[in-house]
Amino acid sequence: MNRRAFLAGVVGATSATLAGCSSVMNMGSGSGSTSGDDFDIGMSAMAFHPTKFEVKAGTTVIWKNTGMRRHSVTAYEDGIPDDADYFASGGYDTERAARDAWTQGKGAVDQGRTYEHTFTVPGNYAYFCIPHEKAGMSGVVVVTEK
Ligand SMILES: [Cu+2]
């Protein structure tokens, strides 16, 4: 009787059925999707999916709120390259402005909506979601040379 072999088989049978990201067809709404993909980074269940996303310089990254809550895409001002443009959903120029606007209900990426930003300067870009910052909703975009 080989109990150990049986247990090993059970452990090996983990199925990763994360059924997110069911693609929503975007018929003729012209929402600025650059390729066939609807979005690059999903926002749901208080996390960015994936949390780390790598692109080449010059790429436009699209976030989509795939969940039920309001989220934001807000760069950490001291978490991006010195010569890079600041970015935040709502179009704010500083982290402070983005945080202030949120208290007035502005700057959200609402359910089903997208936000996009074009990254031109190589480096790491740390960003977060204002209402879920304390819950650990943050991510990083890694921009490599062309
Ligand atoms: Cu959020």
How many Å lie between the centroid of ligand 1 and the Cα of residue 123? 24
How many Å lie between the centroid of ligand 1 and the Cα of residue 140? 14
Alpha-carbon distance of 35 to 19, in angstroms, equals 22
- Whether the bond between 81 and the residue before it is cis, its omega within 30 degrees of 0, is no
pLDDT above 70: residue 146: yes
How many Å lie between the centroid of ligand 1 and the Cα of residue 49? 11
Segment 49-104, tens digit of pLDDT: 999 999 999 999 999 999 999 999 999 999 999 999 999 999 999 999 999 999 99
How many Å lie between the centroid of ligand 1 and the Cα of residue 62? 15
Q: Which CATH architecture has domain 36-144?
A: Sandwich (2.60)
Percent of the chain clearing pLDDT 90 (strictly above): 73
How many Å lie between the centroid of ligand 1 and the Cα of residue 65? 9
What burial class does residue 82 get, using C-beta atoms within 10 Å of its C-beta: 0-12 exposed, 13-18 middle, 19+ buried?
A: exposed
Query: pLDDT higher for 76 or 33?
Result: 76
Tokens read off for 120: 């031109």
Query: pLDDT higher for 114 or 8?
Result: 114
How many Å lie between the centroid of ligand 1 and the Cα of residue 129? 5
Domain boundaries, the chain: 36-144
How many Å lie between the centroid of ligand 1 and the Cα of residue 5? 43
How many Å lie between the centroid of ligand 1 and the Cα of residue 71? 4
